[in-house]
């Protein structure tokens, strides 16, 4: 399952819009029901306005009514592409138990729980 998720992230990476950094990232997000949503990083001339691939994938899924997630694979131009701090906190809001997958290729994956990447994540109680 994680290999297929990574392959999808790798496939969509080519659609990234990264004319400033030339660092393309693709993400594939898997819901608890087994539906996959993808996202890519989207840069902007005004750097803070850009969007990371992980948040793009979550936005796509949430826009379709999804609320429960089990795993995300992230594929960048380097051996591993772990989510930035902003993305870690963003994902924690929706899936504190999310599995995060990255690596150099589909046969050499690194897998960690989001809670390991963001210990003591912040979430307001409803």
- What residues are labeled active site? 54
Per DSSP, what are the bridge partners of residue 100?
72, 112
Least Cα distance to 84 among 122, 110, 114 occurs for 114
Q: How far is CA 70 from the centre of its chain?
A: 12
- Phi and psi at residue 28, in whole multiples of 5°? -130, 125
Distances (CA, A) of 14 to 39, 43, 60, 112, 125: 11, 14, 18, 25, 38
């Amino acid at each position: 399952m994680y290999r297929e998720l990574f392959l999808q992230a790798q496939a969509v990476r080519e659609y990234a819009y990264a004319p400033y950094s030339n660092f393309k990232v693709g993400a594939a997000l898997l819901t608890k029901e087994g539906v996959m949503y993808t996202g890519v990083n989207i840069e902007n001339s005004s750097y803070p306005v850009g969007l990371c691939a992980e948040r793009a994938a979550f936005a796509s899924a949430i826009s379709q009514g999804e609320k429960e997630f089990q795993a995300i694979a992230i594929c960048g131009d380097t051996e591993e592409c772990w989510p930035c701090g902003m993305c870690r906190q963003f994902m924690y809001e929706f899936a504190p138990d999310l599995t995060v997958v990255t690596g150099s290729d589909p046969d050499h994956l690194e897998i960690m729980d989001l809670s390991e990447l963001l210990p003591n994540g912040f979430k307001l109680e409803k």
